[in-house]
Structure 1
Amino acid sequence: MPTGIAVVCDTDDCLAVYLAVQTGDDGDERSADEVSRIARKAAEGAGWVISFGFQQPVMTCPGCADGRGPVLERGICQRCMGRTDASSRCVYCLYPGQPEQTDDD
């Protein structure tokens, strides 16, 4: 079974979450340190800012890092789970989401 990893923003009152990380389903067990490294690398690739405080990684979502956060409303953004506008763009991190598919066959 695939293992999912959630990364949350460390900014006060921010609801941003990054869920699109899977460590694989090959049955291999991974150490907590290895899973943490995978999560940090994936989040950083998605625009999250990683820094260190008190010898622990501090995760900051793209919206907070660019001054548009904190994420106060949940939505469908793949990068931070923030609310999207009518054009499917996140109002917090500006991630251009995919327009909804319609079945007009």
Structure 2
Amino acid sequence: GLIRARLMGARHAAGPVLTYLDSHCECAEGWLEPLLDVIARDSTHVVSPSIEMICDTTFAIRFPRFRKRRFRNKTSPFRMHVGGFDWNLQVSGRRGLFVLGVL
């Protein structure tokens, strides 16, 4: 399956950064550089771009809305972005969350 294929790819990867793209994703020009910049400043960061949606009737681009929220765990704090979608494929997410520990 998908996860096993990604794990196998990670096992054989030789570069300093590993990026996964799903088959239904299309990247805009310049999408990778901001992610690599974050990693270059601190290699312990895990990054992900925000994902815009294209309206299926108008083809207009819709941008996700983000709100702040706090999570807690047992290790050191860090900032992160969390996003997802509901059963209607509506994107939701949180930008710049202050997270205590790894979720």
* Short-chain TM bin: under 0.3
What TM-score, normalized by structure 1, do the two folds share?
0.26
Asked which structure has the greater RCO (Cα within 8 Å, sep 6+), the reply is: 1
Which structure's residues are more often strand, by fraction?
Answer: 2
What TM-score, normalized by structure 2, do the two folds share?
0.26
